[in-house]
C-alpha cells in the first residue's frame, strides 16, 4: 500500500538531504520515526509494515526500516530545502532510550530476569523463606546479571557491525546511531559495574557466574586469535548452553541456597530437571538464532549449522528437540507426588508443545520475516517454561 506523506522539511546537510522528524505529517501512516540522517540517506522506522511513502516535490532517496526489521528503499519527494547542521541536532531522550533498548537485546534481558527469578524460587522450602532477605538476594543477582548480559550482547554487536548491516540493520551500531567508541564505553562500563556488584555482595556463586559468563561471552564474540568461537557452530552452541542452561540454573540457585539462606549445597529434583530441560532449550536457541541470519553469515564466513546443513533441516531439528523436551517434561510432571504440581506441569507442557507444533507448521521457510518471528516465539516459550518450573516438585 502506498501512503502519501507531505512535508516541507527537506534540509541540506553536508551535500545531502535530511528529513526533520518533527515536521513530517503523515496522512495514512500514524508515525514515522527518523533514526538517523547523514549526507546520503535517511534511516527511518515506520510504525506499520509494508507501507511505502511518497513526498510531493523533488525526488530523493529514503531508506526505511520496517517494524519487522526488513528494509526497503523508496523514492521520496520534498518541498523547499533549508540550511541545517545535522551534527548539531541532539538526540531526544526518547530516541536515546529506544537506541539503548535495541542495543540491550530485550528478549535476552527478559530471559535473564525470568530465569533468575524461577531458579531462585526453586530454593524456597517453606513459606517463611519468602521474605525481604530472599528478594534482596534476587535483586542483587538480577542487577549484576543484567549488566553482564548487556556487556555480552554489546560486545557481540561491536564484533559484528558489518554482519549486522546485512542481518540486523536496525541495531544501533549497524545503523550508525552509536559509534564504535560509544559501544565500547557502554560494554566496558557495564562489565565493570557487574563485577563490582558481584564482589561487594560477597556471594561466590554469583561472582563465579558473572566471571564464567564474561569469559565465554568474550571468547564467543571477540575477533582475536583462537577466539571468536561463534565461527564454529558446535563450539558456539556449547557456549550458549553453558551460560543459559548450566550457569544460570546452578550458580544462581546456589547463590540463594548458600549465600542468602545459608544452607548446604543440595541438588534437588526440580533443579536437575531444570538444568537438563534448559540444556535442550539452549541448544535450540543456539541453532535457531542463525536461521534468519544465513545471508550475512555466508558473506562473512560464519559456518553456522544453518549455512552448512540448510535452513529447513536446522529448523525442523530445533522443533523436534523441543518436542522431545516437552515429552520428557510431561512424564516428569506426571510422576510428581503432588496433585497440583502434576496437573500444572502436565497440562502446561501439553499446551506449549501443541502451540509450538501448530506454529511451526505455518512458517514459510522462504520468508526471513516469518523465520525471525518464529525465533522470537521460541523465546516466548523459553519465558513460559521458567514460569512453569517453580511448580515442579
Residue 347 has pLDDT above 80, yes or no: yes
Specify if 58 maps to a domain: no
SS (H, E, C) the chain: CEEEEECCCEEEECCEEEECHHHCEECCCCCEEEEEECCCCEEEEECCCCCEEECCCEEEEEEEECCCCCEEEEEEEECCCEECCHHHCCCCHHHHHHHHHHHCCHHHHHHHHHHHHHHHHHCCCCHHHCCHHHHHHHHHHHHHHHHHHHHHHHHHHHHCHHHHHHHCCCCHHHHCCCCHHHHHHHHHHHHHHHHHHHHHHCCHHHHHHHHHHHHHHHHHHCCCCCCCHHHEHHHHHHHHHHHHHHHHHHHHHHHHHHHHCCCCCCCCHHHHHHHHHHHHHHHHHHHHCCCCCHHHHHHCCCECHHHHHCHHHHHHHHHHHHHHHHHHHHHHHHCCCCHHHHHHHHHHHHHHHHHHHHHHHCCCCCCHHHHHHHHHHHHHHHHHHHHHHHHCC
List the one residue out of 240, 213, 237 whose CA is nearest residue 141. Answer: 213
Q: Domain of 213: which CATH number?
A: 1.10.357.140
234: closest CA among 254, 250, 220, 255? 220
Do 354 and 244 share a structural domain? Answer: no
Together in a domain, 339 and 311: yes
Residues 132 and 248 in one domain: yes
Range of the structural domain that residue 111 is part of: 100-262
Q: Does residue 254 form part of some domain? A: yes
Asked, for residue 367, whether it belongs to a domain, the answer is: yes
Burial of 5 (0-12, 13-18, 19+ CB in 10 A): buried
Residue ending a domain, among 222, 239, 262, is 262
Does a structural domain hold residue 2?
A: no
The structural domain count of the chain equals 2
Task: Specify the pLDDT at position 219.
Answer: 93
Q: Convert 326-361 to b/e letters by CB count within 10 Å (16 or more is b).
A: beebbebbeebeeeebbebbbebbeebbeebeebbe
Looking at the structure, do residues 142 and 271 belong to the same domain, yes or no?
Answer: no
User: Rounded distance, CA 226 to CA 63, Å?
Assistant: 38
Q: For residue 297, which of 196, 228, 348 has the smallest C-alpha distance?
A: 228
Considering the domain architecture, whether residues 227 and 321 belong to the same structural domain is answered as no
- Whether the CA torsion 54, 55, 61, 65 is positive or negative: it is negative
- 193 and 174 co-located in one domain: yes
CB 1 within 8 A of CB 52: yes
- Mind listing the pLDDT tens digit for each residue in 275-286? 988 888 888 888
In a domain, 160, yes or no: yes
Q: Is residue 155 part of a domain?
A: yes
* Nearest Cα to Cα of residue 287 among 225, 374, 160: 374
**pLDDT band at residue 90 under the 50/70/90 scheme:** low
pLDDT on residue 291 = 86
Query: Which segment of 52-61, 100-109, 135-144, 253-262 scores lowest on mean pLDDT?
Result: 52-61
pLDDT in tens, 31-84: 444 444 444 444 444 433 333 333 333 333 344 444 444 443 344 444 443 343
Q: Is 90 a domain residue?
A: no
Other C-beta atoms closer than 10 Å to the C-beta of 127 total: 7
Q: Are residues 104 and 241 in the same domain?
A: yes
Same domain, yes or no, for 232 and 300? no
Whether 10 has a pLDDT exceeding 60, the answer reads no
pLDDT band at 356 (very low <50, low <70, confident <90, very high): very high
Residue at a domain's end among 230, 262, 294: 262
What is the C-alpha end-to-end distance of the chain, expressed in Å? 53
Q: Is the pTM of this model over 0.75?
A: no
Share above pLDDT 70 across residues of the chain, in percent, rounded to a whole number: 77
The residue among 246, 262, 278 that closes a domain is: 262
Asked if the structure places residue 195 within a domain, the reply is: yes
- Same domain for 238 and 272? no
Do residues 243 and 117 share a domain?
Answer: yes
Domain match, 234 and 283 both: no
pLDDT at 91: 52
pLDDT 10s digits, 94-105: 888 899 999 999
Same domain for 319 and 345?
Answer: yes
Confidence of residue 319 (pLDDT cuts 50, 70, 90): very high
Please report the pLDDT score of residue 5 as a whole number.
40
Amino acid at each position: 500500500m502506498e501512503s502519501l506523506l507531505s512535508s516541507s522539511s527537506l534540509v541540506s546537510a553536508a551535500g545531502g538531504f535530511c528529513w526533520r522528524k518533527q515536521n513530517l505529517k503523515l496522512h495514512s501512516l500514524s508515525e514515522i520515526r527518523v533514526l538517523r540522517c547523514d549526507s546520503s540517506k535517511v534511516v527511518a522506522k515506520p510504525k506499520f509494515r509494508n507501507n511505502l511513502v511518497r513526498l510531493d516535490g523533488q525526488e530523493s532517496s529514503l531508506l526505511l526500516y520496517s517494524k519487522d526489521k526488513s528494509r526497503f528503499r523508496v523514492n521520496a519527494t520534498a518541498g523547499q530545502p533549508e540550511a541545517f547542521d545535522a551534527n548539531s541536532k541532539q538526540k531526544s531522550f526518547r530516541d536515546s532510550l529506544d537506541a539503548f533498548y535495541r542495543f540491550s537485546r530485550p528478549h535476552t534481558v527478559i530471559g535473564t530476569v525470568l530465569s533468575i527469578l524461577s531458579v531462585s524460587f526453586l530454593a524456597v522450602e517453606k513459606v517463611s523463606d519468602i521474605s525481604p532477605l530472599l528478594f534482596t538476594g534476587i535483586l542483587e543477582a538480577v542487577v549484576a546479571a543484567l549488566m553482564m548480559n548487556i556487556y555480552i550482547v554489546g560486545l557481540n554487536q561491536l564484533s559484528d557491525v558489518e554482519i549486522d548491516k546485512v542481518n540486523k540493520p536496525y541495531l544501533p551500531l549497524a545503523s550508525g546511531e552509536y559509534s564504535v567508541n560509544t559501544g565500547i564505553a557502554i560494554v566496558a562500563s557495564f562489565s565493570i559495574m557487574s563485577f563490582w556488584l558481584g564482589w561487594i555482595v560477597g556471594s561466590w556463586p554469583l561472582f563465579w557466574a558473572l566471571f564464567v559468563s564474561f569469559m565465554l561471552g568474550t571468547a564467543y564474540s571477540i575477533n582475536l586469535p583462537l577466539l571468536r568461537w561463534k565461527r564454529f557452530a558446535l563450539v558456539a552452541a556449547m557456549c550458549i548452553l553453558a551460560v543459559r542452561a548450566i550457569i544460570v540454573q546452578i550458580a544462581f540457585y546456589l547463590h540463594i541456597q548458600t549465600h542468602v539462606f545459608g544452607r548446604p549445597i543440595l541438588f534437588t529434583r526440580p533443579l536437575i530437571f531444570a538444568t537438563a530441560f534448559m540444556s535442550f532449550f539452549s541448544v535450540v536457541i543456539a541453532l535457531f538464532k542463525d536461521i534468519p541470519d544465513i545471508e550475512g553469515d555466508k558473506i562473512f564466513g560464519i559456518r553456522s549449522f544453518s549455512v552448512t546443513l540448510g535452513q529447513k533441516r536446522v529448523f525442523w531439528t530445533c522443533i523436534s528437540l523441543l518436542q522431545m523436551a516437552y515429552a520428557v517434561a510431561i512424564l516428569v510432571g506426571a510422576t510428581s507426588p503432588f496433585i497440583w504440581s502434576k496437573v500444572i506441569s502436565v497440562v502446561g507442557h501439553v499446551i506449549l508443545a501443541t502451540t509450538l507444533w501448530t506454529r511451526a507448521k505455518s512458517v514459510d521457510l522462504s520468508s526471513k520475516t516469518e523465520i525471525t518471528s518464529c525465533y522470537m516465539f521460541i523465546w516466548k516459550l523459553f519465558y513460559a517454561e521458567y514460569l512453569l518450573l517453580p511448580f515442579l516438585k
